[in-house]
Amino acid sequence: MTAPDLPERSRLVVQHLADAGIETSIRVLPDSARSAPEAAAAIGCDVAAIANSLVFLADGSPVLVMTSGGHRADLAVVARSIGAGEMAMAPASVVRASTGQAIGGVAPTGHPAPLPTYIDEALAEHDEIWAAAGHPHTVMPLTFSSLQKLTGGQVIAVA
């Protein structure tokens, strides 16, 4: 699929990928993949290879945490891992404002400004991981190292 055929937010992700020198292709799914199990079923991969893009408020500021779909992020563990006093899920309005993308389609890139990013160490166990690509119907394969390069993310424990 070429960039003009993608949703607008996914085209922005394509540009950010190109700017970072990362080659991958965005796949458009026929149905929404807003959850890790939905995405894994649609792609045909292990749910643990899904890289969920979660926006949290760390001491009131938005941060992006890329977590494995194989487990839930423990807010206390994430807070300790990043040195935050308070950690909470960001409301949808903050997710949209800080990423320009809707919950369920948040990509690790393509945001109006870079967010401090943290990457679940469990994602390193997979040769290929899958992340949303800016829209609830778009996904892209990445390697753990390309995710790190793309985001500048710090690897942490989340569970």
pLDDT (0 to 100) of residue 111: 96
CA dihedral 120, 159, 72, 91 (to 10 degrees): -80
pLDDT (0 to 100) of residue 32: 75
Structure tokens at 41: 């079923």
**Number of helices and strands (H, E) in the chain?**
5, 8
**Residues whose CB falls within 8 Å of the CB of residue 43, separated by 6 or more in sequence, listed in order:** 27, 29, 33, 50, 130, 139
pLDDT (0 to 100) of residue 51: 97
What are φ and ψ of residue 71, in 5° steps? -155, 170
Cβ pair 101, 62 in contact under 8 A:
no
Each residue's pLDDT, cut to its tens digit, for the chain (159 residues) gives 456 689 999 999 999 999 999 999 999 988 877 788 888 999 999 999 999 999 999 999 999 999 999 999 999 999 999 999 999 999 999 999 999 999 989 999 999 999 999 999 999 999 999 999 999 999 999 999 999 999 999 999 999
In angstroms, the CA 1 to CA 111 distance is 22
Closest to 131 measured CA to CA, from 22, 1, 21: 22
**Residues whose CB falls within 8 Å of the CB of residue 81, separated by 6 or more in sequence, listed in order:** 118, 156, 157, 158
Exposure string over 74-113, b if 16+ CB within 10 A, otherwise e: ebeebbebbebeebeebeeeebeebbbbbbbbbbbbbbee
pLDDT (0 to 100) of residue 38: 85
Q: Which H helix or E strand runs over 58?
A: strand 50-58
pLDDT (0 to 100) of residue 1: 43
pLDDT (0 to 100) of residue 25: 93
pLDDT (0 to 100) of residue 4: 65
